[in-house]
Chains A and B, each alone.
Chain A
Amino acid sequence: EDKVVQSPLSLVVHEGDTVTLNCSYEVTNFRSLLWYKQEKKAPTFLFMLTSSGIEKKSGRLSSILDKKELFSILNITATQTGDSAIYLCAVNSGGSNYKLTFGKGTLLTVNP
């Protein structure tokens, strides 16, 4: 059974801090790993990673994948209160091109 584990499950930081969120996976036939941000409503897409060692970057957010060690990290630098959200990691794997397995998410709270 495919497994995606995120850590920590929750995190409280102060504005300006840098945070690292972790996602490890055990899946058959890995295809891609995706990161989402979920505020009050629907998840919104952040990054899709398919190759090891290539950093994806968007503003203060960046992510990298290690396919040998089976994990990904999501970094957020100079955090702001608007970064408070649940961050979800999902992996596309297995016999289907279309099924995603999600982790339980990391709840990030950024205090002023």
Chain B
Amino acid sequence: NAGVTQTPKFQVLKTGQSMTLQCAQDMNHEYMSWYRQDPGMGLRLIHYSVGAGITDQGEVPNGYNVSRSTTEDFPLRLLSAAPSQTSVYFCASSPGTGSISTQYFGPGTRLTVL
């Protein structure tokens, strides 16, 4: 049981490049989400999903796309990276039985956009 895994751990991009941050969980959780964490800002919700095929926007969705084709995977796509997207990105999952409960966080991806 690996919990929530994220790849890569570190990434450096140039402005305008695109990439996908991977997130997977093996706990059969319905709910998955992506957050970004910037210094002094806490965690801000980017996108979330309440089940396969269902996604919705969070607080800061601009510049990011998501899809949820399987229960296990929830990739986050940066379409055209900008320096403002330099951040630490966390994926989280929750059993989601009707409402938010304990969220399990992945180890994070540290992204730098030059």
Contacts and interface: CB of A to CB of B under 8 A. Distances in A.
The answer to whether A and B assemble together is yes
B48 interface: yes
Contact of B107 (A32, A42, A96, A97): A42
A31 interface: yes
Given A45-B102, A48-B102, A96 B56 contact: yes
Nearest to B56: A96
B58 interface: yes
A45 B56 CA distance: 24
Contact of A31 (B35, B96, B99): B99
Interface string A26-63: 00000110100000011111001000000000000000
Interface residues on B, range: 20 to 34
* Most chain B CB within a 10 A radius of its CB, from A32, A88, A99: A99
Given A42-B107, A103-B42, A48 B56 contact: no
Interface residues of A, number: 24
B98 interface: yes
Interface of B: 31, 33, 35, 40-45, 48, 50, 56, 58-59, 90, 94, 96, 98-108
Given A98-B50, A99-B58, A104-B40, 20 more contacts: A31-B100, A42-B106, A42-B107, A43-B43, A44-B105, A45-B102, A88-B43, A96-B56, A97-B96, A98-B31, A99-B45, A99-B100, A100-B33, A100-B45, A100-B100, A100-B103, A101-B45, A101-B59, A102-B35, A102-B44
9 contacts: A32-B99, A42-B105, A42-B107, A45-B102, A97-B100, A98-B48, A98-B100, A104-B40, A104-B41
